């Protein structure tokens, strides 16, 4: 089980209270996650329907909170019953804040665990599946969720989902038998039971995209700096139709540096997205060992698939979780800034620990973020290059001493 990192408070931007069935909960929120200002209306409507169920049915023993966000649904479900709850989200920041919120509300680890994984990973069957389904997950993924969740329920189990109203009819047409249908001003809650469907959970790991074709969004041919490459993209990650601005700026700088970029045998690709930069980089330079790290497990799985070689992946919110494991000769990083937080100084400290002697780091940012990052450069880093491209900036540095 992954521990709650000591620095998670740095990503908390607001705290709110919420009452459910006579108990007041306190939740930490983050600008880096959905519903960063308050508990969203969809979750409130789902919990209203769930509370009604608890008044008329035996309490569930095994509960899955699929797409947990800050953990509101799973924590409320875990508080008043003899049960275990598995919370899951594709985003490592969501996992960490869910763990944090559970402990802050007195929910022990034995009762609620949080995991960075795709929807419906984890072995069933389940007595209850709760989900505030993201509208942007992609219709093939949402269809797979309905079929698979029905198959993963116990004979008397229930799935309770909340969706935005424009998608309600899409879900109604795909649920075999709706037990309850409640519509609010912006959301609809649908309750359904078990039916024929896949009884196997979604399993992340090598071969993920082949084994879970619902996540496959597009296959295409791309080009950066006259180097062509092919990519399979997934739902749930950005840059599915073209490489993003930071990756393109990074490729421009790497191409400009050319032979001045020292040879590297081990590489860390941080926040690689669908894999545009690592696949482009691998087409022109060989690395003996790749590590992929970042928040989004779906993006990491896509990058691993697209590299088509053995790689290690790590779910992490920032560089700090990697410190102490190993050092890398080359790091390419495209960190995303979270509003109302400032981690740039900490990034520099961690990069100093992660790079091997004379190692090189190349980073891509929006231009303003790149300017702020460069101003904090420690003396023991030497800038190797700097390029700007259409509102984005790439910077490269070599570690000269530590």
Same domain for 45 and 145, yes or no, is: yes
What is the spatial distance between Cα 149 and Cα 171, in angstroms, rounded to a whole number? 13
Distances (CA, A) of 374 to 186, 213, 317, 368, 401: 44, 41, 21, 10, 18
131 lies in the same domain as 54: yes
Give the other-Cβ count within 10 Å of 325's Cβ: 11
pLDDT score recorded for residue 1: 45
- CA-to-CA distance for 174 and 143, rounded, in angstroms? 7
Residue 5 is predicted with a pLDDT of 53
Same domain, 270 and 333: yes
CATH code at position 252: 3.40.50.150
Q: Is residue 181 part of a domain?
A: yes
253 CB-side CA count, 13 A: 28
Same domain, 181 and 257: no
Q: Are residues 223 and 358 in the same domain?
A: yes
pLDDT of residue 4: 53
Same domain, 161 and 222: no
Q: Are residues 50 and 92 part of one domain? A: yes
Residue 139 lies in a domain: yes
Residues 317 and 178 grouped into a single domain = no
Residue 199, in any domain of the structure: no
How buried is residue 10: exposed, middle or buried, by Cβ count under 10 Å (0-12/13-18/19+)?
Answer: middle
Q: How many domains does the chain have?
A: 2
**Is 200 a domain residue?**
no
Structural domain that includes position 41: 6-192
State whether 178 and 240 are in the same domain: no
**122 and 213, same domain (yes or no):** no
- Same domain, yes or no, for 373 and 241? yes
The whole-angstrom separation of Cα 95 and Cα 384 is 36
Residue 202 lies in a domain: no
Q: Is residue 203 part of a domain?
A: no
**180 lies in the same domain as 213:** no
Residue 1 domain flag = no
Instruction: Report, as ranges of residue numbers, the positions in the chain whose pLDDT lies below 70.
Output: 1-6, 402
């Amino acid at each position: 089980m992954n521990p709650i990192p000591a620095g998670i408070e740095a990503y908390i931007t607001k705290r709110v209270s919420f009452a459910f069935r006579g108990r007041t909960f306190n939740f930490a929120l983050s600008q880096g996650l959905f519903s960063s200002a308050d508990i969203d209306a969809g979750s409130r409507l789902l919990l209203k329907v769930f509370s009604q169920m608890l008044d008329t049915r035996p309490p569930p023993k095994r509960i899955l909170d699929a797409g947990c966000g800050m953990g509101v649904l799973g924590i409320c479900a875990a508080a008043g019953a003899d049960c275990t709850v598995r919370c899951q989200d594709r985003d490592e920041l969501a996992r960490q804040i869910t763990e944090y919120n559970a402990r802050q509300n007195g929910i022990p680890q034995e009762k609620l665990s949080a995991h960075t994984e795709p929807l419906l990973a984890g072995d069933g069957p389940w007595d209850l599946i709760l989900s505030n389904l993201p509208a942007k997950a992609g219709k093939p993924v949402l269809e797979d969720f309905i079929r698979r969740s029905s198959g993963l329920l116990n004979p008397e189990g229930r799935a309770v989902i909340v969706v935005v109203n424009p998608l309600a009819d899409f879900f109604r047409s795909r649920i075999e038998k709706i037990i309850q249908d409640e519509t609010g001003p912006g959301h609809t809650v649908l309750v359904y039971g078990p039916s024929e469907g896949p009884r196997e959970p979604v399993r992340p790991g090598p071969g993920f995209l082949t084994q879970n074709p619902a996540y496959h969004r597009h296959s295409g041919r791309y080009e950066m700096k006259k180097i062509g490459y092919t990519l399979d993209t997934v739902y749930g990650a950005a840059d599915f139709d073209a490489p993003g601005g930071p990756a393109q700026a990074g490729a421009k700088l790497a191409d400009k540096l050319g032979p001045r970029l020292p040879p590297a045998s081990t590489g860390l690709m941080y926040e690689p997205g669908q894999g545009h930069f690592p696949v482009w980089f691998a087409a022109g330079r060989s690395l003996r060992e790749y590590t992929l790290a970042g928040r989004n497990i779906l993006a990491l799985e896509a990058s691993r698939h697209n590299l088509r070689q053995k790689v290690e992946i790590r779910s992490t919110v920032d560089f700090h979780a990697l410190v102490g494991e190993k050092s890398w000769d080359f790091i390419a990083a495209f960190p995303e800034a979270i509003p109302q937080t400032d981690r740039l100084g900490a990034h520099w400290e961690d990069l100093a620990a992660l790079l091997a002697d004379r190692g090189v780091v190349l980073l891509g940012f929006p231009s303003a973020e790149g300017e702020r990052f460069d101003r904090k450069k420690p003396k023991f880093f030497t800038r190797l290059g700097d390029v700007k491209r259409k509102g984005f900036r790439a910077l490269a540095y070599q570690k000269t001493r530590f």
